[in-house]
Amino acid sequence: MASFVLRKAIQYALVLAVAVTVNFALPRVAPGDPLDYLLGEQSHQLGAEQRAQILRQFGLDKPTSEQFRDYLVNLTHADLGISVRYGEPVRSVIRDRLPWTIALVGTSIVLASLIGTVLGVWAAWRRGRRSDIGSMAIVMFLDSTPIFWLGMLLLGAW
């Protein structure tokens, strides 16, 4: 049992390390200047001194290895930096939106569980009949469709 738990812990640590590394690397390997992403069209209107100051503010003037070290240290302290979009700490942006996110996800989970249980009992009660086969086909179709596409279809239906 201990070896199973150890193997799983190593797997989770490896997945976490890969996810953190990819999250760090993707913006840095993306084409273009980081200031174009941060500031949009305004970045071309900045002087050399202003560009250097913004790069220094976000730590983009350091070597990549030092940026990665700082990134890991900040993650261990739960310091997610400053939101480029909102201009405030990411932690406070998340804290402001977390209650609504939990309410939305919680409601979705409760509704999905209730509807799934009711439909499961109904399908088991009518096992092998046409309505059971039809409902299974519909559920399999809905389960195999990409959720974003299904969401767009449902929004269009309203």
Quote the percentage of the chain above a pLDDT of 90.
42
Our count of domains for the chain comes to 2
Rounded mean pLDDT, 72-94: 90
**Claim to verify: residue 88 and residue 136 sit in the same structural domain:** no
Question: With bands split at pLDDT 50, 70 and 90, how would you rate the model's confidence at 152?
Answer: confident
More confident residue, 128 or 110: 110
pLDDT for residue 107 is more than 90: yes
**Claim to verify: residue 77 and residue 115 sit in the same structural domain:** no
Question: With bands split at pLDDT 50, 70 and 90, how would you rate the model's confidence at 98?
Answer: very high
pLDDT for residue 137 is more than 80: yes
| pLDDT reported for residue 17 | 96
Question: With bands split at pLDDT 50, 70 and 90, how would you rate the model's confidence at 12?
Answer: very high
Instruction: Dig out the tokens for 95 from the structure.
Output: 């804290």
> Residue-wise over 49-85: b if at least 16 C-beta within 10 A, else e?
eebeebbeeeebeeeeeebbeebeeeeeeeeeebeee
| pLDDT reported for residue 155 | 85
Name the domain boundary from 55, 79, 96: 96
> Can you give the residue range of the structural domain that contains 19?
2-96
Q: Give the pLDDT confidence of 33-78 residue by residue, as tens digits.
A: 777 777 777 777 778 888 888 888 888 889 999 999 999 999 999 8
**Claim to verify: residue 14 and residue 87 sit in the same structural domain:** yes
| pLDDT reported for residue 111 | 95
Name the domain boundary from 96, 111, 139: 96
Rounded mean pLDDT, 145-152: 87
Angle separating helix axes 2-29 and 64-76, nearest 10 degrees: 130
